Amino acid sequence: MNAPATLEQSARTARDVFGWDDLLPGQAEAIDAVVSGRDTLVVFPTGAGKSAVYQIAGCELGGVTVVISPLLALQRDQIDSIDAAPDAPAAVALNSRAGAAARATAWAAIEGDEAVYAFLAPEQLANPEVFDRLANADVRLIVVDEAHCVSAWGHDFRPDYARIGDVVDALGHPPVLALTATASAPVRDDIVASLRMREPHLEVRGMDRPEIHMAVRRHEHDADKRRAVLADVQDAGGPALLYVATRKGTETYADELGALGLRAAAYHGAMAQKRRDEVHTAWSAGELDVVVATSAFGMGVDKSDVRLVVHADVTESLDSYAQEIGRAARDGQPARAILHYRAEDFSLRSFFAGGHTKRADIAGVWDVLQRADRPMRAKDIADEGGRSVRAIGRVLNHLVACDLAVSGAEGVSILAKVSAGDAVSAVRERDEAEERIRASRIEIMRGYAETVHCRRRALLEYFGVETPSHCGSCDRCDTGAAAPIDEPAAAADTDGIRIDSTVEHGEFGVGTVMAIEDDRLTVFFADHGYKVLARAAFERGILELGEAA
């Protein structure tokens, strides 16, 4: 169907094709935008039905809906969901785990108009055969799941996402639907730019999760922190997630919780895929009381009755913290989110988040690209120079971001003829900007942990959501430390400044207002990260209100 969808049409498709009684808030609006041909960015919390948007839109558009999704387990869950629907079109996966026969069958279904949904991982877009076959298919919608991965300023940037914008253009720019559970205003802007989205419809819903009580506990000694973490998990009152910073920490805490009689399992990115799948399956089936995990346990986690999310270590940003605690209370029932920290934990997190791209890596990659007579992939360059694919991929992404190279379906080619020294300088400058961003995100996380005001306000203002100063469901409000003011925090503004306002600073350039307090602002600057500035900076002429974006 090519006509614009109506709310009634979408509701009918949801009911008759997928067996859903009702659409959730925001779904119908997003579906209507997509089927009308508009690029659309959807920011819904975990469990709010992001997948339903592309499933219904794809059904109404016909042709092929390409779903770019980073995890094979997540692809499998989504395909299973479509297969279980009463009358949904077919879905297939084009992933590296499938054998040649299975991939051939999947392509035959796509090219024979037997399948509507085609799932693939972002790295597959670098495969010329995959790209060529997609170019010859009737692609009518491109879906980018976990879209925050496309943003260099996001908390989970993945290099393979960087080429999606090029692929979108090469396929003639069918409508693009970007989906994410959490994205601050700067990350949203970066998603739009990176995916080459054209005047996109923005649908942001449900960032406030009042059913999740938020608390932070500070400790002086690591032993005290460990005892408190274990006690919280023992008192979970239902399934629990415990997030830690290191792989070793997952094993240690899982062993200790097991010794206390809980069914606990560790999960981290270095585990064998088979073991990770086993933990994921056991967790989903209710066979575990707690999973102790690094941030690797996240995408694709689909369990509605999580009653507790504990962080034994600080996260690298409020983005990642919000996404991880958002895995609680998907059933709408009360749950808790507790962060434990020591003051020195922030310094440790800053240390591990740092690190520059090596000059030798930059110069080596540039030399290979200059000598190459064809586009080069990270693996090709790594094989030639003896460097890691990860390091090479980082350099290539920087070169593309600096407009020194262009990324296509077959690899990366030089775009600008400059010296190796100039290329090194450009990449290092961008690298340093990214490090400032990382450091500032950690400082924002520190601000959340140490705030004397309402924690929910601190979290939601970071995402550009105006909120009352008193939520009644955090430890600060429990103790009366956050004054109960019913007006939105930004309502006190008297000089035209609001959340998402554009401002210009004499040193830092143009920025976006992220949070407002009586005497200060938190502003995000693209090259300098988050800065807390006194409102008096306006009076001194250091800061000016800019034109709305």
- Per-residue confidence (pLDDT) for residue 482, from 0 to 100: 67
- Per-residue confidence (pLDDT) for residue 393, from 0 to 100: 82
Strand 405-408 and strand 411-414: the pairing is antiparallel
What single string gives the DSSP state of each residue in 221-240? SHHHHHHHHHHHHHT-SS-E
Q: Which residue has the tokens 């016909």?
A: 62
First and final CA of the chain: distance in angstroms? 35
pTM of the model: 0.77
Phi then psi dihedrals of residue 76, to 5 deg: -60, -45
- Per-residue confidence (pLDDT) for residue 157, from 0 to 100: 65
Helix (H, G, I), strand (E, B) or coil at 42: strand
Domain 493-549: which topology?
SH3 type barrels. (2.30.30)
- Per-residue confidence (pLDDT) for residue 2, from 0 to 100: 44
d(CA 478, CA 462): 22
- Per-residue confidence (pLDDT) for residue 549, from 0 to 100: 44
> Do 7-204 and 493-549 come out as alike in CATH topology?
no
CB atoms within 10 A of CB 71: 17
- Per-residue confidence (pLDDT) for residue 355, from 0 to 100: 62
Q: Which helix (H) or strand (E) holds 93?
A: strand 90-93
Buried b (16+ CB within 10 A) or exposed e, 469-486: bbbebbbbbeeeebeeee
> Where are the strands (E) in 259-409, listed by range?
264-267, 290-293, 308-311, 335-341, 405-408
d(CA 134, CA 107): 9
Phi then psi dihedrals of residue 339, to 5 deg: -110, 125
Q: Which residue has the tokens 């996260």?
A: 315
> Where are the strands (E) in 282-396, listed by range?
290-293, 308-311, 335-341
Q: What is the edge-to-edge ordering of all strands in the sheet holding 139-144? A: 90-93, 115-120, 64-68, 139-144, 176-180, 40-43, 201-204
> What is the residue-level pLDDT of the chain in tens, covering all 549 positions?
444 446 788 889 999 999 998 898 899 999 999 999 999 999 988 777 899 999 999 999 999 999 999 877 788 889 999 999 989 999 999 987 777 889 899 999 999 999 999 999 888 887 888 889 999 999 999 999 989 888 765 656 676 787 899 899 999 999 999 999 877 888 898 899 999 999 999 999 878 899 999 999 999 999 999 999 999 999 999 999 999 999 999 999 999 999 999 999 999 989 998 999 899 999 999 999 999 999 888 766 778 999 999 999 999 889 889 989 999 998 989 999 999 999 888 877 766 665 678 888 899 999 999 999 898 888 888 887 677 887 888 888 888 888 898 876 678 889 888 999 999 999 998 888 888 888 888 888 998 998 888 999 999 888 877 777 789 999 999 988 664 444 444 434 446 787 778 888 888 888 888 777 767 788 888 777 778 888 778 777 888 887 654
Name 339's bridge partners. 216, 311
Q: Where are the domains of the chain?
A: 7-204, 212-342, 359-433, 493-549
Q: Right CATH number for 359-433 from 3.40.190.10, 1.10.10.10, 2.30.140.10, 3.30.420.40?
A: 1.10.10.10
Reported CATH class of domain 212-342: alpha beta
- Per-residue confidence (pLDDT) for residue 462, from 0 to 100: 85
Spatial CA neighbour of 91 closest among 67, 126, 69: 67
> Where are the strands (E) in 225-371, listed by range?
240-243, 264-267, 290-293, 308-311, 335-341
Would you say domain 7-204 falls under CATH 3.30.1490.20?
A: no
Helices (H) and strands (E) in the chain, counts: 20, 20
- Per-residue confidence (pLDDT) for residue 47, from 0 to 100: 72
Q: Which helix (H) or strand (E) holds 7?
A: helix 7-16
